Amino acid sequence: MLRIRQFFLICSGAHLPMLRRAPAEMNKYAGIGATIFFTGLLAALSGGYALWTVFQEPWAAVLFALVWGLMIFNLDRYIVSSMKKRDKFGQELWMALPRVVLAVLIAVVISKPLELRVFDKEIQAELVIMEQQKFRTQEEKVQERYQARSLEIKNRIQALQAEIDRQAARRDTLMLIAQQEADGTGGSRIRNLGPIYKAKKADADSAGAALAALQQRHRALSRELAQVDSTVTAGITQLKRGSIDGFASRLDALGTLTKNSAPIRWANWFIMLLFVAIETAPVFVKLISPRGPYDDLLEQHEYSFIMHKKERKAMLTMETDERIAKKTAESEARLKRTVYT
């Protein structure tokens, strides 16, 4: 336990020789150091998971996790160790405000990958829906590319079909009239195959030939429409069906989930606020804790250093003035000797 406490004291950024002169402060700084250490550990896990979702490379994820965790650990350690207890709380709060803002920013960055892990099952289900929507959009874009041509051909086929129906009705009527002329049930009422029948039969044959021409054009347009549909189908088949599983896609899915589900939105906020509380805890502990013996010793040490610096500066100034005065006196003496000689 003593070794663990010693490790956490090192993590707190406190000056250990001076802290040993104030043993009552050790537990407080050990707690601050533990918070800083575990914040760095969570940052390492968060950064490693974030990189794993992007590159799927274990060695890269582990390396980035170590670098990211050490960076956050060192930054938190500097933030806490750079705060000094003052006699005025307002001055301390003003000095701590930029550190609190930085701590909140770090907490938000750390919490986001872990939120993705917590809601992983829900995000996977949402990613499936997003994939389907993406594929549907791609298919619609391919269809829109040929939609105008396909619509034009369908309109022509529809108009041609109406004309074919009219022409077929006309041919059938002419065929009936010719047949009635032939068997004497209509027309001249004379049963024969004379000139009148031949003329009516020619009209019916002409109508049949026109109908055949229309039907041939209809088949050509149908083949053209089938070719367009085949091209659309081939374009849809050639679309890349890669799965959506990147870091940005997961963030997008999480945003959709929090937008559509109130429980997930509240849980997301609670997780982020938890990390904000953990990250800002050392700063607030240092801010609200009363001034202790360690702070007095640290202030005395800083005051001694400042006084030593001022004394050294004054001594150097005095020595400089003495050298200047001595050189001035020597110069005046040499000048007098020169004048007398």
Neighbours of 94 (CB within 10 A): 11
Helices 247-260, 26-55: inter-axial angle, 10-degree rounding? 110
Are 44 and 68 in contact by the 8 Å Cβ rule? The answer is yes
**pLDDT value, residue 192:** 59
**pLDDT value, residue 185:** 65
**pLDDT value, residue 89:** 66
DSSP E strands in 146-240: the ranges are none
Are 46 and 111 in contact by the 8 Å Cβ rule? The answer is yes
Q: How far apart are CA 120 and CA 68, in angstroms?
A: 22
Give every residue of the chain whose pLDDT is below 70, as ranges: 1, 53-55, 85-92, 95-96, 181-197, 239-243, 245, 292, 295-296, 303, 332, 335-341
Containing H/E element for 181?
Answer: helix 120-183
Task: Indicate the burial class of 107 (C-beta count within 10 angstroms; 0-12, 13-18, 19 or more).
Answer: buried
Amino acid at 192: N
Whether pTM > 0.85 for this model: the answer is no
Give the SS3 label for residue 171. Answer: helix
Residue 27 tokens read as 């537990």
- pLDDT (tens digit, 9 = 90+) per residue, 152-197? 888 888 888 888 888 888 888 878 777 776 665 655 555 655 666 6
Q: How far apart are CA 232 and CA 143, in angstroms?
A: 6
Give alpha helix (H) positions in the chain.
2-12, 16-19, 26-55, 58-81, 89-118, 120-183, 195-237, 247-260, 262-288, 293-340
**pLDDT value, residue 63:** 86
Helices 262-288, 26-55: inter-axial angle, 10-degree rounding? 140
Containing H/E element for 246?
Answer: none
Dihedral of CA atoms 196, 198, 199, 204 in degrees, nearest 10, equals 130
**pLDDT value, residue 193:** 58
